[in-house]
Structure 1
């Protein structure tokens, strides 16, 4: 029998102790399944963080501003059914199901470094497909220069969206060449599991050479356009968060240094490690920004 997203108990139910105790009976009766992805030469050989670290320490402000809030509250998000509206400068606009955009047979395992703008980092084994393959399905028109993304707007299920500050829904964007780059993926899982709600279920963007806030979660809308799209953090604090958000140890955040980072799970005695330009992906992506002032275009 083929199982759908709704057949899987949200990971947050058993990652959060209180939710686990409340939902133990349901968990015992719920089937689970594993995903698999083809190994990729684009993966790092660094050891990934544990599943528990990845799913219990993250930012997903739609569920609150604390690092544990996503795991605590994301179980309320309904992820089945789910569709992504692709429009703008495309040949085949429409509403696409997750299974159409990222069929299990096409999934790749991409073990990527993640660098948060807050100066902490992880290594995460994502499962996903190149964003380029998705955009090609929709048919990119010659005039498309940028790709805009929006997350789902459901304040009834996402408690953080009831707060003021960010103009919901969360928005992000890429240049078309960034979006079509082989490193850029849409992920639907991690650690051979369907994407946990707190990490952006059922489908999210992953751009490993940029700060983590660029990798928008729970995507419901992708629009190709000929002009730079507005992005949430750029609208909120443009002096701190630029459109590009490339990892750059030479350009500090106005309130802290970006020269070093704290690796989650490394232990109290591990110390900080130097941050690499483009998060260590410079050999693959530096040519995208040839001739640009990366302090001005931050």
Structure 2
């Protein structure tokens, strides 16, 4: 597999430094995200932060117009895949309030110089949260446009000084049947596992997310820490992360283990490669106009529309074989 220098993140995808200097209330909210998420276990989520507009952008300040109209917060938090809380799309929003998200720690190990188990606050300490509007495409054929709040995954991974033997990064979700009723059912081989190649993990578009829509991340969306990789199908976005490991070989991943014909390790959005049971050439956007859940179908773009930024990572690969 070839490796290329990673292209820089386009300015349209990242909020400018001047905007973030004006977002002190937002940054305080993100720093307190684990504690605020616990409050969300027992009632409504905290109100969205007052995020100033950046010149030439919409209210999110991150170029949402380029990604498409935002999905409504109500839809993005009530139509989810999080099988630890049930297989129905509405199950997570009903059941996930049992998830206690503070205190929270992440164990980091494998091929690195500084392994250890660290509190979430320490894991993210000193990193300035970024707000990015990303298109998200599910392998089932629906998609959303969501303003995420988080930090570049690569900046976090560098703190543990991965060695030259670290070719992949593996992630593991919490598996606690007391908090997660869905894992009492043998839907998957729990705990949920995902993985990226190291150059994918270091790409500036890959985010470790702690919030969305100016609020701390809700439990059903993966609180308090989840992965967002916008050029891949949604099942790569592992939620409620408790472990990160640098590995020499490609790690086992849950959906690929269960059904390798349907779920490849790379999971890049590729409309030219059909799912065995349906076409991937189009998608139904959850548009959030308040009148209907789904908008009309639209054409699916290679790499979910991020080909200019990430296609070089896969130069020379057969993307029909390495799906």
User: What TM-score do the two structures reach when normalised by structure 2?
Assistant: 0.82
Instruction: Give the number of equivalent residue pairs.
Output: 283
Give structure 1 stretches of 5+ with no counterpart. 16-30
User: What TM-score do the two structures reach when normalised by structure 1?
Assistant: 0.88
Deviations 1:17-55 (A, max 9, x none): xxxxxxxxxxxxxx7784979956799442221111110
Give structure 2 stretches of 5+ with no counterpart. 1-27, 53-59
2:318 to 273, 293, 296: 293
- Is 1:47 matched up with 2:69? yes
Deviations 1:166-224 (A, max 9, x none): 00000000000000000001000001111100000000000000000001000000000
1:218 to 240, 244, 253: 240
CA distance in 2, matches of 1:67, 1:260: 20
- Is 1:10 matched up with 2:35? no
| 2:48 and 2:213 in contact (8 A); partners too | no
- Higher RCO (C-alpha 8 Å, min separation 6): 2
- Structure 1 residue 102: deviation in Å? 2.6
CA distance in 1, matches of 2:177, 2:71: 31
| 1:12 and 1:74 in contact (8 A); partners too | no
Alignment RMSD (CA, Å) = 2.5
Aligned to 1:124, the other structure's residue is in SS state strand
CA distance in 1, matches of 2:33, 2:267: 35
Corresponding residue for residue 26 of structure 1: none
Aligned to 2:87, the other structure's residue is in SS state coil
Deviations 1:252-292 (A, max 9, x none): 00000000000113647942100000000000000111111
Deviations 1:75-97 (A, max 9, x none): 00011110011100111101122
- Is 1:276 matched up with 2:301? yes
- Is 1:93 matched up with 2:115? yes
CA distance in 1, matches of 2:294, 2:93: 27
Corresponding residue for residue 19 of structure 1: none
Aligned to 1:56, the other structure's residue is in SS state coil
Deviations 1:112-161 (A, max 9, x none): 00000000000010000000000011111111100000000101110111
1:187 to 209, 223, 227: 209
Aligned to 2:131, the other structure's residue is in SS state strand
- Structure 1 residue 5: deviation in Å? 2.7
Corresponding residue for residue 158 of structure 1: 180
CA distance in 1, matches of 2:132, 2:147: 6
1:56 to 78, 82, 92: 78
1:125 to 144, 147, 156: 147
CA distance in 1, matches of 2:47, 2:142: 32
| 2:137 and 2:232 in contact (8 A); partners too | yes
